[in-house]
Amino acid sequence: MIRPHGSDTLNPLFVYDAAKNEALRKEALTLPSIMMSSAAAGNAAMLGAGYFNPLTGYMNKADALSVAEKLHTTSGLFWPTPVLNLVDDAGSIKAGSRIALKDPNVAGNPVMAVMDVKAVETFTDAEKKLICEKIYRTVDPEHAGVAEFMKQGKVILSGPIQVLNFSYFQSEFPDTFRTAVEIRNEIAERGWKKVVAFQTRNPMHRAHEELCHMAMQRLGCDGLVIHMLLGKLKKGDIPAPVRDAAIRKMVELYFKPNSAMVTGYGFDMLYAGPREAVLHAVFRQNMGATHFIIGRDHAGVGDYYGAFDAQTIFDTDVPKGALQIEIFRADHTAHSKKLNRVVMMNEAPDHQKEDFILLSGTKVREMLGNGIAPPPEFSRPEVAKILMDYYQALDAKK
């Protein structure tokens, strides 16, 4: 199986030993505590699950700035985005403190992790702006990722953590949330050698489904891991339970047995386009995928990134050999009226725009809300039914 990023074996930061976990929970009650941001809690979940291997905790200022500017830590580890625990005020916490990190996303704010603080530092306004410019390629406050990052504090708490639970991801999505450890184990159990991963924060229409089939066939893959984001999204995105139901129905009906695994991970979307695409590749390698599909406008939002910037960054900014996972580059896929099948649009040079069945997200949402199924060439009827029920229920509440 493909090696994890940066180490020979996967080193998740979750405390699996039950006695040690319980002892840490008791100790946490006696420690000074801070409330994490949702972003920091998502980072803790990813660290605990092994997705952010080989990191041992939150980055310090020097590493965060080095990653933003050079895509590697001060020690030389290739990494595309800062992994931070930012707060407004550290209070009495200082280097050498041992603290409890409280979860902002669960009622009662239970302790999610215990942290040994190595440094307490502060970003200047200019440094936070620099990180935005490098990671998001914009400082526009209308950008969802920029807005979220800028509202977090400037005080950086860095150091190793021990993770005690996976927040609401495991409790609310018990059938879908999987750690990198669990996915690696399942890949091994299924006997898959070549595995392609597909990232999604949306339900999958016919174009997505066929893209996965194309990738599997062209790469000669044994299996596909559909890996959906379960964390916070932007306003208007479809909630995870609805996406989950729609995707599972599609796999059940339109994929061969033992060819596709439906899973999810706990993280808040960054909307960082190319940089986030590289982060996605890093943690897909950590979960055991050998290949990763990157399509048009991957992890993008609005018009901040070029359509294929998330692919070209692997040529321009990722050093050769930095990652073992390979990228499957995809164009926009759509149903061709001429060929009566889904194709990559760049592979149909004799087509005009009107030769494809193309529907905007706004148009699809409008149809679903009105109880009108999109054409079967665009969306499987069984998937459309799940989405229609959701949008109609949403409209009924207005």
Q: In terms of domains, do 186 and 165 share one?
A: no
What residue spans of 237-305 are helical by DSSP H?
Answer: 240-254, 273-286
Q: In terms of domains, do 342 and 246 share one?
A: yes
- Interval 289-331: pLDDT, tens: 999 999 988 998 889 999 999 999 999 999 999 999 999 999 9
Looking at residue 25, what is its pLDDT?
98
Question: By percentage, how much of the chain surpasses pLDDT 70?
Answer: 98
Give the CATH number, domain containing residue 112.
3.10.400.10
Q: In terms of domains, do 35 and 128 share one?
A: yes
Is there a domain that residue 35 lies in? yes
Give the CATH number, domain containing residue 383.
3.40.50.620
- Interval 101-157: pLDDT, tens: 999 999 999 999 999 999 999 999 999 999 999 999 999 999 999 999 999 999 999
Q: In terms of domains, do 260 and 117 share one?
A: no
Looking at residue 241, what is its pLDDT?
84
Is there a domain that residue 13 lies in? no
Is there a domain that residue 111 lies in? yes
- Kindly report the average pLDDT of the chain as a whole number: 94
Final residue of a domain: which of 171, 193, 216?
171
Looking at residue 240, what is its pLDDT?
81
223 and 187 Cβ atoms separated by less than 8 Å: yes
Q: In terms of domains, do 205 and 283 share one?
A: yes
Looking at residue 238, what is its pLDDT?
82
Read off the pLDDT band of 398 (50, 70, 90). low
Task: Tell me, yes or no, if 365 is annotated catalytic.
Answer: no
Final residue of a domain: which of 171, 204, 219?
171
Q: In terms of domains, do 113 and 149 share one?
A: yes
Q: In terms of domains, do 123 and 230 share one?
A: no
Q: In terms of domains, do 152 and 201 share one?
A: no
The predicted model scores a pTM of 0.94
The whole-angstrom separation of Cα 62 and Cα 201 is 32
Report the 10 Å Cβ neighbour count for 237: 14
Final residue of a domain: which of 171, 191, 207?
171
Looking at residue 36, what is its pLDDT?
97
Among the residue ranges 41-45, 140-144, 220-224, 363-367, the one predicted with the least confidence is 363-367
Residue showing tokens 């091994």: 188
Full residue range of the structural domain in which residue 265 is found: 175-397
DSSP letter for each residue of 331-387? --EEEETTTTEEEEGGG-TT--GGGEE---HHHHHHHHHTT-PPPTTTS-HHHHHHH
197 and 284 Cβ atoms separated by less than 8 Å: yes
Is there a domain that residue 12 lies in? no
- Interval 198-237: pLDDT, tens: 999 888 999 999 999 999 999 999 999 999 998 776 667 7
Q: In terms of domains, do 238 and 302 share one?
A: yes
**Section 347-359 average pLDDT:** 91
Looking at residue 362, what is its pLDDT?
79
**Section 63-82 average pLDDT:** 98
Number of structural domains in the chain: 2
Is there a domain that residue 10 lies in? no
Q: Phi/psi at 237 (nearest 5 deg)?
A: -70, 150
- Interval 240-293: pLDDT, tens: 888 899 999 999 999 999 999 999 999 988 999 999 999 999 999 999 999 999
Is there a domain that residue 387 lies in? yes
Q: In terms of domains, do 243 and 326 share one?
A: yes
Looking at residue 201, what is its pLDDT?
83
Q: In terms of domains, do 377 and 341 share one?
A: yes
Looking at residue 312, what is its pLDDT?
97
Read off the pLDDT band of 378 (50, 70, 90). very high
Q: In terms of domains, do 114 and 234 share one?
A: no
* Options 25, 190, 201, 365, the catalytic residue: 201
- Interval 161-180: pLDDT, tens: 999 999 999 998 898 999 99
166 and 47 Cβ atoms separated by less than 8 Å: no
**Section 376-384 average pLDDT:** 93
Read off the pLDDT band of 42 (50, 70, 90). very high
Is there a domain that residue 6 lies in? no
* Options 202, 248, 329, 365, the catalytic residue: 202
Task: Tell me, yes or no, if 286 is annotated catalytic.
Answer: no
Is there a domain that residue 284 lies in? yes
